[in-house]
Structure 1
Amino acid sequence: MTSTSLALVADIGGTNTRVALADGPQVHLETVARFKNAEHGGIGDVIARYLAQTGTRSEAISGTCVAMAGPVHDGVGTLTNLDWRIDKAVLGDALSTDRVAVLNDLQAQGHAIGRIAEADLTVAVPGPAAAEHAAALVIGLGTGFNACPVFDTDMGRFVPPSEAGHVSLPTSITELHPLLDKLVDGGGYPSVEEVLSGRGVSHLHAALHGEQAEPAAILDRIGAGEARAEATGALFVRILGDVAGNLTLTHLPFGGVYLVGGVTRAFLPHLARFGFAEAFHNKGRFSDFMAQFSVSVVTDDYAALTGCAGHLSHI
């Protein structure tokens, strides 16, 4: 790594933060370290510990890009599920650099598209080959839910922010109708994130069966073929296909749809048998139109770090 291109990139999730060093758009995976958020007072503490742990001098860092699970506005973001404030100016001062970016985590995933190895992509819904500058769409399921389009322009890549997880659940799935009052957020609103997220798996299972269970346990029971868990998994996948189809019609990502996040990866073995493709394509008179869009699952757990490095290398 050269002294002029050394960058620090970080991916702040709801539970853990991962930090790494990058040389231009290339993340050096051997430098990735994971820190528990609960053990730190903020991103500044995490970065200080990382620098001390790796023996990296702050003045050697020529730029930094942080991805975070929450909305970002004018370089300032607050995590959705953690009381941390991420401030672009403060990060720049802490690392003595003015080349700083703060991205929503899905924006970072969007900047990773095109830099992900084929081995880390699994096709869930096949589609035609994409034109070189066709728009793409990233949909993330993890601690929360979000989505953002990806546009390659003459001025560079543009990945606008979004809060797609807080739109309402689809009315087209009639099985949801009697469950809606059990699938509301803290404001009494049945948002997509209350189902299509880690906690959403548990919410949906409880709404269907009146049984409390952790997401990992439900997924284990799906893998074992247990009937109640299978019913939860099948409805979850149908909702995901329907919502992904809605977002696809909104953005027309002829460059492909990319599903990311830990919950997505956990459901990958079950997408086909629970009818994801059928739910994705089921758009009435536009069902045939939906055949123009491919859907792939990103299995690279470090894609957000790659996106941070790629974005930073162009600013």
Structure 2
Amino acid sequence: MERRAGELMMTKADHLTLLADIGGTNTRVALAQGTDMLPETIKRYANAGRDALEDILSDYMTAQNVQDLAGACVAAAGPVRDDVATMTNLSWVIKAENIARVTKAEQVFVLNDLQAQGHALGYLAPDAVREIVPGQPARADAARLVVGVGTGFNAAPVHEGPGGRVVPPSEAGHITLPCQSDEDFELKRYLEAKHEFASVEHVVSGRGIERVYAYMQGQDEATVSGADILAAISRGDVTARAAGEMFVQAMGRVVGDLALTHLPFGGIYLVGGAARGVVPWLEEFGFSAAMHDKGRFSDFLQAFPVFVIEDDYAALHGCAAFCQSRIDAQEL
């Protein structure tokens, strides 16, 4: 049964943890008790007009009337090093020490957003995870791979070990865009003329499908939103469908490359709004065919099932799980 916000004080504040999922546009904040994220505490804040994450966290804690937390864990859409995150699409630098000062949390952790998604596996409702490409059965401790296709692109492997779960960070969206066909290379040259370098994220992301559509239209700048492109695909628009097919096949190639790099026999998990948006057309547009098209390793890739995560708050669940695991480790 859900608790009202006013009832949170029945739980000692120092038994609660604070969670935050920081995107380029919005920040979601919630509280957790142990590994259980408390849905009634979720708040969404627009980042526009805010100088720093600390402004949002201060407002949130005042609204929830909590302080002296057991821990805090934030997931940032950008590279993280030594407890400092630099946002990729937002001029914020997030430091653990600043979060500790605002929240009075006893322990503070800063993760990349895909790390948080990896830590969410096993903590999501069964109906929040849907298989879209079948694979073969695997051991419970088999490696898994989380692939985020939203505003940007990233991926993170998930490993289970004797000391607990390990989810190494990466910046996979900024590797070189893989090309096979003449049209792929033409798109690459189009992107290089604008950005000097053509990365995976330039195509396989929410902004990426907008760039692909602009390329198909012969335009220099993307002026049609991803949502409008998906709507046009639904209507049968020829150009939109061609852009969608190119986007989906590029995503399939990249996922296949990452699968061979990490061998996720436990499954590949797609997250993010852009990935969910094209799920209805994945098979029609050739996702699995592109993913499996790896020469003599094509049959080998059939082992890896692909799932889509349909929980917008998965990263918050992952923050809760990670934070509690570190608190428990400190108490041993």
Q: Distance in 2 between matches of 1:249 and 1:175?
A: 24
Note the C-alpha offset of 1:5: 2.5
2:269–2:308 Cα contact (<8 Å) kept: yes
Deviations 1:218-242 (A, max 9, x none): 1110111111100000111000001
Secondary structure of 2:284 counterpart = coil
Note the C-alpha offset of 1:186: 6.7
1:183–1:204 Cα contact (<8 Å) kept: no
> If each structure's helix is expressed as a fraction of its own residues, which one has the higher value?
2
| Deviation larger for 272-281 or 65-74 | 272-281
Note the C-alpha offset of 1:57: 2.3
Task: Return closer, same or farther for 1:186/1:105 CA change in 2, 3 Å cut-off.
Answer: farther
Structure 1 position 47 matched with structure 2 position 57: yes
Q: Distance in 2 between matches of 1:269 and 1:159?
A: 29
2:76–2:113 Cα contact (<8 Å) kept: yes
Q: Distance in 1 between matches of 2:60 and 2:138?
A: 40
**Mapping 1:273-292, distance limit 5 Å:** 273-292=284-303
Q: Distance in 1 between matches of 2:207 and 2:265?
A: 31
TM-score (norm 1): 0.96
Task: Return closer, same or farther for 1:119/1:173 CA change in 2, 3 Å cut-off.
Answer: farther
Q: 1:295 aligns with which of 291, 306, 320?
A: 306
Q: Distance in 2 between matches of 1:79 and 1:245?
A: 27
Secondary structure of 1:18 counterpart = strand
2:155–2:171 Cα contact (<8 Å) kept: yes
Note the C-alpha offset of 1:215: 1.2
Q: 1:111 aligns with which of 119, 136, 142?
A: 119
**Mapping 1:113-192, distance limit 5 Å:** 113-184=121-192, 187-192=195-200
Letter in 2 for 1:166: H
Structure 1 position 250 matched with structure 2 position 261: yes
Aligned to 2:82: 74
Aligned to 2:330: none
Aligned to 2:15: 5
Q: 2:26 aligns with which of 16, 24, 35?
A: 16
| Deviation larger for 65-74 or 169-178 | 169-178
Note the C-alpha offset of 1:183: 1.9
Aligned to 1:313: 324
Aligned to 2:43: 33
Aligned to 1:87: 95
| Deviation larger for 37-46 or 13-22 | 37-46
Letter in 1 for 2:159: F
Any stretches of 5+ residues in structure 1 without a counterpart? none
Letter in 2 for 1:226: D
Q: Distance in 1 between matches of 2:15 and 2:188?
A: 51
2:58–2:103 Cα contact (<8 Å) kept: no
Any stretches of 5+ residues in structure 2 without a counterpart? 1-7, 327-332
1:111–1:308 Cα contact (<8 Å) kept: yes
1:148–1:162 Cα contact (<8 Å) kept: yes
Q: Distance in 1 between matches of 2:218 and 2:279?
A: 26
Q: Distance in 1 between matches of 2:94 and 2:145?
A: 25
| Deviation larger for 263-272 or 202-211 | 202-211
Q: Distance in 1 between matches of 2:133 and 2:125?
A: 18
Letter in 1 for 2:135: G
Task: Return closer, same or farther for 1:53/1:184 CA change in 2, 3 Å cut-off.
Answer: farther
Deviations 1:126-185 (A, max 9, x none): 012221111100000111100010011111111111000011111224421112122239
Structure 1 position 268 matched with structure 2 position 279: yes
Q: Distance in 1 between matches of 2:308 and 2:180?
A: 24
Letter in 2 for 1:241: G
Aligned to 2:215: 207
Q: Distance in 2 between matches of 1:279 and 1:116?
A: 29
Note the C-alpha offset of 1:39: 2.8
2:175–2:199 Cα contact (<8 Å) kept: yes
Q: Distance in 2 between matches of 1:223 and 1:64?
A: 42
Letter in 2 for 1:276: F
Q: Distance in 2 between matches of 1:40 and 1:173?
A: 44
The 4+ residue runs of structure 1 with deviation greater than 4 A are none
TM-score (norm 2): 0.91
Letter in 1 for 2:306: V
Q: Distance in 1 between matches of 2:138 and 2:182?
A: 34
Alignment RMSD? 1.3
Secondary structure of 2:63 counterpart = helix
Note the C-alpha offset of 1:213: 1.5
Structure 1 position 57 matched with structure 2 position 93: no
| Deviation larger for 175-184 or 201-210 | 175-184
